[in-house]
Amino acid sequence: MIRRRAPLVSAPRRRQAPEPVVPMINVVFLLLIFFLMTAQITAPPPFDLTLPHAAAQDDSTTGTLYISASGDLAYQTLRGPAALVAAAARTPLTLQADARLSASTLARVLGELSGHGARDIRLVTQGDP
């Protein structure tokens, strides 16, 4: 009986084929594109605002005039009366006023906007939770 000796160098083992990664990369890129396309990237308001509550909400994002609780005005990079004049030229104009703003101050600002030619003013409110 002849005994066989083990070879000194073993034959290389066959490696298993790796899992296909390309389909997973495709799915990741599709999800990334989906989230980028559906995200709304907006600049934060210049004041800390608490919006008033209402039953319906208009989501127009044209020009936005911000009014703080103390009556400070901001439109884009402008502040004060210059913001009011520049905002009045926008149609439609979105108005975001703090819920703590007095009604008389809001009425005064709306009158000034109307005096500067603003005709379509939309007040942004917060829907019921």
Any domain includes 107 = yes
pTM over 0.75: no
Any domain includes 78 = yes
In whole angstroms, what is the distance from residue 87 CA to residue 65 CA?
6
Any domain includes 104 = yes
Any domain includes 92 = yes
Q: What range does the domain containing 117 cover?
A: 66-127
At 32 the pLDDT is 93
Any domain includes 10 = no
State the average pLDDT for the chain: 82
Domain count, the chain: 1
The pLDDT tens digits for 73-90 are 999 888 888 888 888 888
Any domain includes 37 = no
Any domain includes 5 = no
The pLDDT tens digits for 6-51 are 777 777 777 777 778 888 899 999 999 998 888 877 777 888 888 7
- Check whether 4 has a pLDDT greater than 90: no
- Check whether 60 has a pLDDT greater than 50: no
